[in-house]
A and B are shown apart, each in its own frame.
Chain A
Amino acid sequence: MIQDVVWSVSIILMGALAVVFMWVATGASVAIANYGPVIDTAYRARVWLFGLALVVLIGANYKTLGELPYINTLPKLPAAAVQPTQVVAEQWLWTITPSTFKVGQTAEFQVTSKDVNHGFALYDPEFRIVAEVQAMPGYTNVLRYTFKEPGTYQVLCLEYCGVAHHAMQTEIKVTE
């Protein structure tokens, strides 16, 4: 899952940065007499680091911006290929119609709210998030998702909406 990749990459990079800081900190008490050449080398290294950072930045953004979740960026599908699904949020319940799907079926959740901001978060049967979108009064946000495995999916609210925010949950059934 994306979350696992993000966690692994983040902790490696964070750890690497921490090691660099620790290395400099532990060696700080030893003074070098001629600082000039060291700083020149460091600034040359920074140019290379800047180049590397730019390559990573451009590559990562090119890759990730190619697949956006926004409906206006997704290919149009024939009407028969999607299941329009109404999602109405209000303090503190979800009304989802329909709420049963088949594996492989693509739902287009048309998400709105009657009162305040809510967050529609779809949790798979292993209780990990697979898709999110905000529910806002006055707006209908369209989220497309294709169910990949059978089971009971949970919908949780992930935008704080008041005292029963944590209890604003419902289920979606997905069958073979």
Chain B
Amino acid sequence: MTMAVTAGRTGRTAISPRAAVLAYLAVAGVVFLLMMLLGLTMRLAQAQWIDVPPNFFYVVMTMHGAGMVGIAGLSSAAVMWHFVRRHDPVSTAVFLTNLVFFLIGAVLILGAGFIGGFGAAWTFLFPLPAHSGGLWSVNAAASYLIGLIFIGVGFLLLHLDIARGILSKYHGLGAALGVKQAFGLAPAEAGPPPAVTASTMALIANILGIVVGAAVLVISLVNLYVPSFTFNTLAAKNLIYYFGHTFINVTIYMAVIAVYEILPVYSHRKWKTNWAFYLAWVLSTVFVLTVYTHHLLMDFAMPTWTLVAGQVISWLSGLPVLLVTAFGTLTVVYRSGLRWNPAAALVFLGVAGWAIGVIPAIADGTIAVNSVMHNTQWVPGHFHTYLLLGMVAMVLGFMTYLTNPQPRYGFAWLGYWLYLVGGVIFVIAFLLAGAASVPRRYAVHVAQWLPYDRIGSIGAALAIAGVLILVVRFFVGMRTAVLAEDPIG
């Protein structure tokens, strides 16, 4: 709070923008590792290699989910802010205020879980927070919900400030998104830089999503203390998934800015922003805001057209990812003379993980498939593919890029390969288990499910070892990185 309070009215702080970004990433590195350890705890418990009581398992599950979603947002926001501030005036004070709000929210959430025993899953599906079965108190549930509100308010401030900076230059979100370029109404060369386009998409989606999320959080909060105040469960579910889907989905779109900015540095090829690029971002904005009903395919009470739309939009939303971002990445790298280093390899892996993860995600977004795979381990299988091996890889690449890796290449490469190999084993075990109808979010597994859990545990342990190495070398390089410039190849 002190950092933000001392920022002053001009938005200037004693902390440099670069140091602020590194502060975000330092928090991200620690939280990623801790949350991964919670994830490993769950897999080991399911594998019956350690003994975890179910009530504690579900607390761990709730903390893992909330922590990972939150830190995915925070770390990818650091990527976005670092690059968008090269083009538009944004406030370091507001950026740091978001970090402070995040930390306050994290303390409230951790307290709710590890002190109050709150374990209603990160999605806090209404009215579960008020139906604890005696395991957590109303105050613990409230602490969790208020923690989420703090984090949401911080992000809202950050996105509003970025909107202010962008609008001061582009005089319209459509112009900043590149709408005219998307439809051939203006030359692509005159379009906004990729970082501005992506930041605009992120702020449009997240501002709407966070406001919706705040509404359902307040509804849940009132219901806790005034049980006679009820709300339609299906409407609440719509609000929660609208917010939850949008927030986590946008993290990838913020993190991918690292790919646009870092890969060209090493491949010496400019990222080509043609009409297809802008069209992809315009469409992605629409898709992210409308696709959430694919979480409700088994809610038969929903109007059928919304579920059909959820399926079709799920399929459509794969096109910009595969045909523009993944394709663009491949063309920037293809026979470019790029000498691989861990930073470039990580952001490249991030796009691969995202693109590859789209396949099982689209499958799950198909109603006929969802009818037999909804809430099986197929779901963590596909989202860990594009988050663990996609978004997180992009952030780790950004962390490595900022803390120039040259002196410790071998060390970082070891981390990279452990993370990649372990991550692949980990997600494949989830997908196999999902195909075998193993439910997600089960504290206790039957004997026939154990092989998937044990393979997954080994994969998770390897991946965590890799991330640990990458995070340690980030901290080692952080001191000099505060004063350094970005690598220029």
Contact = CB atoms under 8 A, between A and B. Distances in A.
A134 B131 CA distance: 18
Contacts of A140: 301
Given A70-B300, A119-B374, A158-B375, A127 B368 contact: no
Nearest to A131: B371
A27 B298 contact: no
Contact of B373 (A3, A14, A49): A3
B106 to A, nearest CB: 22
Interface residues of B, number: 82
A84 B10 CA distance: 68
B488 to A, nearest CB: 18
A160 B335 contact: no
Interface in B253-273: 267, 269, 272
A159 B300 CA distance: 14
Contacts of B307: 68, 70
Contacts of A32: 335
Contacts of A35: 269, 335-336
Contacts of A53: 319, 322-323
Contacts of B327: 42, 46, 49
Nearest to B385: A14
A159 B373 contact: no
Given A7-B431, A166-B444, A24 B330 contact: yes
Given A18-B356, A53-B319, A127-B437, A31 B371 contact: no
A173 B304 CA distance: 31
Contacts of B345: 25
Contacts of A88: none
Given A17-B355, A27-B334, A136-B233, A163 B444 contact: no
B337 interface: yes
B54 A60 contact: no
Contact of B132 (A9, A10, A130, A162): A162
Contacts of A164: 54, 133
A162 B133 contact: yes
Interface string A99-119: 000000000000000011101
Contacts of A20: 330
Nearest to B272: A39
24 contacts: A3-B434, A3-B437, A7-B435, A17-B355, A25-B348, A29-B338, A29-B340, A31-B337, A35-B269, A42-B331, A64-B367, A65-B308, A65-B367, A70-B300, A116-B128, A121-B375, A128-B437, A129-B376, A134-B300, A137-B127, A138-B232, A138-B234, A159-B375, A163-B133
B304 A160 contact: no
A92 B128 CA distance: 13
Contacts of A92: 133
B325 to A, nearest CB: 12
A55 interface: no
A125 interface: no
Contacts of B339: 29
B125 A160 contact: yes
Interface residues of A, number: 78
B82 interface: no
B301 A139 contact: yes
Contacts of B276: 46
A86 interface: no
Given A3-B373, A61-B312, A72-B304, A115 B360 contact: no
B368 A162 contact: no
Interface in B298-334: 298-301, 304, 307-308, 311-312, 315-316, 319, 322-323, 326-327, 330-331, 333-334
A13 B362 CA distance: 12
B132 to A, nearest CB: 7
A128 B398 CA distance: 42
Interface in A20-37: 20-21, 24-25, 27-32, 35
Nearest to A140: B301
A143 interface: yes
Interface of B: 54-55, 58, 119-121, 123, 125, 127-128, 131-133, 135, 232-234, 237, 267, 269, 272, 276, 298-301, 304, 307-308, 311-312, 315-316, 319, 322-323, 326-327, 330-331, 333-340, 345, 348, 351-352, 355-356, 359-360, 363, 366-376, 378, 385, 431-432, 434-437, 439, 441-444, 448
A7 B299 contact: no
B446 to A, nearest CB: 8
Contact of A69 (B54, B367, B442): B367
Given A38-B335, A119-B298, A143-B300, A2 B369 contact: yes
Nearest to A167: B444
B368 A67 contact: yes
Contacts of A158: 374-376, 439
A28 B371 contact: no
Contacts of A136: 233-234, 237, 299, 301
Given A13-B359, A42-B327, A136-B299, A162 B128 contact: yes
A68 B58 contact: no
A129 B379 CA distance: 15
Given A128-B436, A141-B301, A165 B337 contact: no
9 closest residue pairs by CB, A with B: A31-B337, A7-B435, A141-B300, A158-B375, A21-B352, A166-B442, A28-B338, A129-B437, A160-B441
A123 interface: yes
Nearest to B135: A163
Contacts of A1: 372
Contact of A3 (B311, B356, B436): B436
B368 A2 contact: yes
Contacts of B373: 2-3, 6, 129
A91 B128 CA distance: 10
Given A141-B299, A156-B439, A115 B367 contact: no
Contacts of A130: 372
Contacts of A68: 304, 307-308, 367-368
A156 B376 CA distance: 11
